[in-house]
Chains A and B, each alone.
Chain A
Amino acid sequence: MRNIIGLFMVLSILVILPTVQIVFAAGDEAGEYIDRRVEIWNLFFRMMTVAFVVGAVVSGTLIWLIWRFRESNPKATPTKYEGTGELDR
């Protein structure tokens, strides 16, 4: 539970900080230009964070599924479709 709260905090910061930046951003007067490298890499790393979080969820789910529902698991029970002929379509 605590991990999920921590996760949500990270994700909200990823959303809130850029929004604040838009509101308070410096304009393009002489001497105050944006550095495209900073903007673009910043976006990249934020998106990578989200992608890896989603990836961890998806692959974690997949690995758990593979483990839990393997036929050699002592907890494995036949599915309710086995033996009924419905699987033979």
Chain B
Amino acid sequence: MSGHSNWSEWVYIGVVVALLAWVGAEAWNIERLVEHVPEDAKVIKVTGQQWFWTFEHEDGTKETGELHVKKGVPYKLEITAKDVIHSFNIPEYLVLMDAVPGRINTVWFLPVDEGEFPIQCREYCGLIHYNMRGTLYVEDGA
């Protein structure tokens, strides 16, 4: 298996490898930035089950199907599930993390805009997976 004597193919492979290295480096850097959880992030426990989401704030307040947060405050979501794998997703905030029974997955985000944002499930979980929805309410914090 020899015979790579063609310079054009080597240049091509060099360009491809350089591009891929750039992709990898950029992705690594942005992921590093995005995964760094701020120390003062407030914890919210998120639990998925067939077929709805429940939330528990730091102060013990519980919510079902709706999540109320304050604008400008970073939140750390600790996500788990009670039965099968679900996936907690707020598409407009690019929050996406599997809810796996038996473990807790963490993701943080910063609500920047006020308003109502849909929450959906992003892992097939059975009959009502398609309608396992909720709403995020971002309110102006005082």
Do A and B touch, yes or no (CB under 8 Å, in the complex)?
yes
Q: A-side interface residues toward B, CB under 8 Å?
A: 15, 18, 22, 25, 28, 30-31, 33-37, 39-43, 46-47, 50, 54
Would A22 and B36 be within 8 Å (CB), given that A33-B110, A40-B94 are in contact? no
Closest 3 CB pairs of A and B: A33-B110, A28-B38, A43-B30
Neighbouring B residues of A46 by C-beta, 8 Å: 26
Complex interface: chain A residues within 8 A of B59 (CB): none
Contacts of B19 in A (CB 8 A): 50, 54
A16 to B113, CA, bound (A): 29
Chain B residues in contact with chain A, CB under 8 A?
Answer: 19, 22-23, 26-27, 29-30, 33-34, 36, 38-40, 72, 74, 92-95, 109-110, 112
Measured CA separation A15–B26 after assembly (Å): 9
A/B pair count, beta carbons within 8 Å: 46
Kindly report which residue of chain A lies nearest to residue B110, judged by CB atoms.
Answer: A33
Contact B40 A40 (CB under 8 A): no
Q: Which residues of B contact A15 (CB under 8 A)?
A: 22
Provide the bound-state CA to CA distance between A46 and B23, in Å. Answer: 10
- Between A33, A35, A39, A46, the greatest number of chain B beta carbons within 10 A of the residue's beta carbon is seen for A33
- Once A33-B74, A36-B93, A36-B94 are accepted as A-B contacts, the answer to whether A22 and B29 lie under 8 Å apart by CB is yes
CB of B74 within 8 A of CB of A39, answer no
**CB neighbours of B92 from chain A (8 A):** 37
- A54 to B36 Cα, complex, angstroms: 32
Q: In the bound complex, do residue B94 and residue A37 qualify as a contact, i.e. CB atoms below 8 Å apart? A: yes
Contacting residues, chain B, for A31 (C-beta < 8 A): 72
Whether B30 lies near A39 (C-beta < 8 A) is yes
Contact: A18 with B29, CB < 8 Å? Answer: yes
The answer to whether A40 and B26 touch (CB under 8 A), given A33-B74, A50-B19, is no
Chain A, Cβ-Cβ closest to B23 = A47
22 pairs from A and B in contact (CB 8 Å cutoff): A15-B22, A18-B26, A25-B33, A28-B36, A28-B38, A28-B39, A34-B33, A34-B110, A36-B94, A36-B109, A37-B92, A37-B93, A37-B94, A39-B33, A39-B34, A40-B30, A40-B34, A40-B94, A42-B30, A43-B30, A50-B19, A50-B22
